[in-house]
Amino acid sequence: MGGNRSAHRILLAGKVFGVSKQRTYILLSLVPALVLLLVFTFYPFLQGVVMAFQNYVLFDLTNVKFIGFQNFETAFQDAKFLAALENSAYWVFFSLVLQFLIGLSLALMLRKNFRGRGVYQGFVFYSWALSGFLIGLIWKWMFNSQIGVINDLLMRAGLIDTRIGFLSDPDWAMTSVIIANVWYGIAFFAIMLLAALQSVPADLYEAAEMDGAGGLRKFFNVTFPYILPTVIATTLLRAIWIFNDPSIIYGLTNGGPAGTTHILSSLMLEKIIYGGDYGMAAAIGVIMIIILMLYTVFYLFATRSEKAGDF
């Protein structure tokens, strides 16, 4: 009897030791990743927050000092910042809505089996393989007022009599960069929504047909409710990416003409690259973080009642 108890204790101790050893190994394996996160993410983040409350100009490092909320006050009194804030709202809203609607339409089309479907998929997904800056350069050539293909096509179609400076005209510049961004992001929605559409069970459609449902009714009563979690996740995440990414704007207009296409992220880069004003750039970055935090709260609230999407 005593021998059985001793054996049981030894076995239990071995299990505990084994579990403890395994946990230690897992924790040690996480250390390199945690160190990299601290060095390349958390430390720069904290340093940026500190800079937002400092007079930190690259060309005047002898005058670095704490100035409280002065950078934030200056930002909200600056017409260029306020214009960039407004542009950011237009940039995100119109880019997101058009990308989603066109991407969903293409996903619905590509869900069907037809000859050459793989080729069409390749064309649709092509833009997502390119960098935003490269896409900006491509569309910059296409929008060129002298040799651009868009002006040439519009003139051949008889829609315009004189060439339009899409990127040099303040009335056209913001619309032009949004068009380029829409083309870039369509592929993301097409890929994600196509995957969600292909996961809809066929028996749901059969049941809807037995109830006499037509095409539109099947879409709104079967398809859309089923892919709704994916729709919520992709639209909200894509909005964050659009808000943060200035690469297309820099490739197309560099924020011009006269700052009319600046969004917050491109204005922040301008403060760093051309002015060396890290304090003001950091303040803009903190404002962006606050906006995204509020947006994230909305994201979590909007998705809390939905099941995990098929994405």
The per-residue pLDDT of the chain, averaged, comes to 84
Quote the CA–CA distance of 53 and 61 in Å, as a whole number: 15
**Closest Cα partner for 124 from 145, 102, 140, 141?**
102
Q: Say whether 263 sits in a helix, a strand or coil.
A: coil
For the segment 188-206, the average pLDDT, to the nearest whole number, is: 86
pLDDT band at 250 (very low <50, low <70, confident <90, very high): confident
More confident residue, 171 or 113: 171
Percent of the chain clearing pLDDT 90 (strictly above): 37
Quote the CA–CA distance of 262 and 250 in Å, as a whole number: 9
Tell me what percent of the chain is helix, strand and coil, each rounded to the nearest 5.
Answer: 75, 0, 20
At residue 217, the pLDDT reads: 80
pLDDT band at 32 (very low <50, low <70, confident <90, very high): confident
8 Å CB contact between 183 and 139:
yes
Whether the per-residue pLDDT at 189 is higher than 90: the answer is yes
